[in-house]
Amino acid sequence: MFSDLPREIEEEILSRVPIKSLRQLRATGKRWYHHPLFKDPKFIKRYFDTTPRKYHKAIVLNEFRIQSMSSYVDERRISPSRFLL
């Protein structure tokens, strides 16, 4: 069972899971919603240090025109506390 794993192994596994899946995991029950790892700034920093940098796409409505926009986000330059799950 996952709860029998040492914290280091649990951290290693969860640090490789995509952020969308981590959010879904937290929605499965109290054990995961209140899991201390998701509030730990060290884990959050490690998570964003190990995940690849990503391009984000958005559609922007500007002065009644629709524009497509891509942006590069480097999470390493943003405080990990802004990404609490």
pLDDT at 15 over 70: yes
Secondary structure (H, E, C), 7-72? HHHHHHHHCCCCHHHHHHHHCCCHHHHCCHHHHCHHHHHHHHHHCCCEEEEEEEEECCEEEEEEEE
Backbone φ/ψ region at 71: left (φ over 0), alpha (ψ -120 to 50), beta: beta
The residue with tokens 């940098």 is 53
pLDDT at 80 over 60: no
What pLDDT sits at residue 54?
55
Q: Is the pLDDT of residue 55 over 60?
A: no
What is the chain's mean pLDDT, rounded? 71
pLDDT above 70 coverage of the chain, percent: 55
* pLDDT exceeds 60 at position 58: no
